Amino acid sequence: MASSLLHSLCLVSFVLVTVVVGTASAAAYAPPGFRASAWELAHATFYGDSGGSANMGAACGYGNMISNGYGTNTAALSSVKFSNGYGCGQCFQLQCTNSPLCNRGAMVTITGTNLCPPNWAQDSNNGGWCNPPRTHFDMAQPAFTKIAQYKAGIVPVLFRRVACVRSGGIRFQFQGNGYWLLVYVMNVGGSGDVASMWVKGTKTNWISMSHNWGASYQAFATLGGQALSFKITSYTSHETIIAYNVAPANWQVGMTYGASVNFR
């Protein structure tokens, strides 16, 4: 396995774009698409069954991966990539390498949807695959078997960050109550991740939301009976976009509301 990593420098120029959600528009400084990173070395294992049912829910809070658009090309990330939940939604391209059990030439793009926690009872090179500072991908079985044979168990991989290609706009799933709004942010394109978020009701100014866990953000405020807008900043690209009037005034917890804007 190679002892050094390839590094590249990406110069990103910023352009002014206008995004439109509902009947309102907002200006945002946006990079011309997320740039893929350099290839690096890591390892991958798999968990769950061949149908991917064991991969539902998970630490990022995306719930049903199939109905929410993530499918079975998903993985639990070791803590150095999970980044206390800020790695949720990031996309990685993986290919098996340096193993006779690789599916030659095969690559798969996965989304980080779960945490692979450390196992300090095991040596980092013998069972404690997700122990820091290791970068490790514990993949859904259907994703793993696209790049390696099932019997491999663990394989070295080349990986790189890539843009998340999503259909439609960012989606917001509401939980909480009349005094506490908890929002799971899903279907994020571009860098795939969220650093910070604000909510605005028709009767309020912008209210900063705190990071709860995974891909969820919360606001302790009375927002019932108001149409809600959201402002979101990407964790990786630092781009900020505004989605106006995402949820109507009669919004309800348990519902998912979609914007018509997304990161690129």
Is 44 contained in some domain?
yes
Q: List per-residue pLDDT tens for the chain, 264 residues long.
A: 333 333 333 333 322 232 333 323 233 333 456 889 999 999 999 998 877 666 676 899 999 898 898 999 999 999 999 999 999 999 999 999 999 999 999 999 999 999 999 999 999 999 999 999 999 999 999 999 999 999 999 999 999 999 999 999 999 999 999 899 999 999 999 999 999 999 999 999 999 999 999 999 999 999 999 999 999 999 999 999 999 999 999 999 999 999 999 998
- The pLDDT score that the predictor gives to residue 16 is 27
SS3 for 79?
A: helix
Please indicate, yes or no, whether residues 200 and 106 belong to a single structural domain of this protein: no
What gap in Å lies between CA 156 and CA 6, rounded to an integer? 16
| CATH number, residue 132 | 2.40.40.10
The number of angstroms, rounded, from the C-alpha of 168 to the middle of its chain's C-alpha atoms is 15
Q: Which domain holds residue 242?
A: 171-258
Same domain for 45 and 113: yes
CA distance 96 to 93: 10
Residue-level pLDDT at 20: 31
Q: How many domains does one find in the chain?
A: 2
Sheet with 216-219, side-by-side order of all strands: 240-247, 228-233, 196-201, 207-213, 216-219, 180-186, 171-177, 256-258
Residue 77 backbone dihedrals phi, psi, to 5 degrees: -100, 140
Residues 211 and 128 in one domain: no
Please tell me whether residues 220 and 144 are part of one structural domain.
no
Its pTM stands at: 0.86
* pLDDT in the model for residue 139: 96
Question: Is 52 among the domain residues?
Answer: yes
**Residue at 114 is within a domain:** yes
For residue 33, being part of any structural domain is answered with no
Q: What is the pLDDT of residue 54?
A: 63
Q: What is the pLDDT of residue 51?
A: 74
Q: What is the pLDDT of residue 190?
A: 96
Integer CA distances (angstroms), 227 to 154, 232, 242, 247, 254, in order: 49, 17, 14, 6, 16
Alpha carbon distance 263, 186 (integer Å): 12
b/e map 132-153, b = 16+ CB within 10 Å:
eebbbbbbbbbbbbbbbeeebe
75/156 same-domain check: yes
Contact 48, 55 (CB under 8 A): yes
pLDDT of 50 reads 77
Same domain, 118 and 187: no
State which of 132, 161, 190 marks the end of a domain.
Answer: 161
Q: Assess if residue 12 is contained within a domain.
A: no
Asked if residue 137 belongs to a domain, the reply is yes
